[in-house]
Amino acid sequence: MVKETVKYLAGVAGLSGYGSSTTAEQVVAQEFRSCSRLTAIITGATSGIGAETARVLAMTGVRIVIPARDLKKGYQVKERILKENPEAEIILLEIDLGSFSSIQRFCSQFLSLNLPLNILINNAGKFANKMELSEEKVEMTFATNYLGHFLLTELLLEKMAETAAETGMQGRIVNVSSVIHSWAKGHHFKFNQMLQPSNYNSTRAYAQSKLANILHAKELARQMKLRKVNVTVNAVHPGIVKTGIIRDHKGFITDTLFFVASRFLKSIPQGASTTCYVATSPQVEGVSGRYYADCNEMQCSLPANDDAQALDLWRQTHAFIRQRLRR
């Protein structure tokens, strides 16, 4: 543990050639070449890590689709990218990941554009300090971080498979998780309890949603391999970055923790590096169902490696969403 901490603080490169101090621009400059044929959807791209991911990928010529709950913020990010890179193609569409009907509308609008889809980055995150319910009457952190991205991925998966088959270029899905997934405890990780917890704890809810993100990636990767679909699915931990995700979780304790941990915090460009690495690097070609941090493959928690639990979660989620969509 001490050795790993020293390596992290020093930014020592791992097997990939990158480490904790690597920025997204450095990764893309080394790993990726301009390719205007690619299209990427990046949730949560109106601020923080998502906005930096969009900016950096747009520099390479990738067409960027930004699903935004707040269109004003989306337009601001679009203008900033275009100011730096006037040739960038940025498409802004409205979405609320806490609403199944909104996700359906977004997917219908995107698919009606008849564009390819090469990269899907499920980056948006919610850390609700107090118990809130989504439009589907589901706890908001779980609804936004996991259920919304699950449905979004399901509705776009055939387009990704079709694009990969037509172009011969592997599609990539990246679920942005967190090392905090390891805080989720098995006796609390029950699907119905996570939908409507009787005793809400914000940190537990966030950890559970991030564990679900990894299990989703692992099970979907297994399914893609069985179907021989040329689309990979991986999960990443971006590092601890003080971004807008804690906007609902401010206060003395949170601010003190961030002050004490400041030596461990990443900048936003560093936080976006692992997402960009997994989404673009030739080193990750054909690799699926894995977990990455600091641009290197890492071990996740034992519950996150439970294939049976991953399948069970996928089945329960699929059944729940199908039932809600029939209403």
Question: Whole-prediction pTM value?
Answer: 0.92
The beta strands (E) that lie in 123-264 are given as 171-176, 231-237
Contact predicate 90/53, CB 8 Å: no
**Cβ count within 10 A of residue 144:** 26
The one catalytic residue in 146, 200, 206, 292 is 200
216 vs 310: CA distance, rounded Å: 6
224 vs 209: CA distance, rounded Å: 22
3-state class of 206 per DSSP? helix
Amino acid in the structure at residue 175: N
Q: Which residues, including other chains, have CB under 8 Å from residue 251's CB and lie 6 or more apart?
A: none
292 is catalytic: no
Instruction: Give the rounded distance of the alpha carbon of 144 from its chain centre.
Output: 11
- Print pLDDT tens along the chain (327 aa): 434 544 544 456 799 999 999 999 999 998 876 666 899 999 999 999 999 999 999 999 999 999 999 999 999 999 999 999 999 999 999 999 999 999 999 999 999 999 999 999 999 999 999 999 999 999 999 999 999 999 999 999 999 999 999 999 999 999 999 999 999 988 889 999 999 999 999 999 999 999 999 999 999 999 999 999 999 999 999 988 755 544 454 555 555 555 555 556 899 999 999 999 999 999 999 999 999 999 999 999 999 999 999 999 999 999 999 999 987
**DSSP codes joined into one string, 80-138:** HHHHH-TT--EEEEE--TT-HHHHHHHHHHHHHTT----EEEE------SS--B-TTSS
200 vs 130: CA distance, rounded Å: 8
CA atoms within 13 A on the CB side of 2: 0
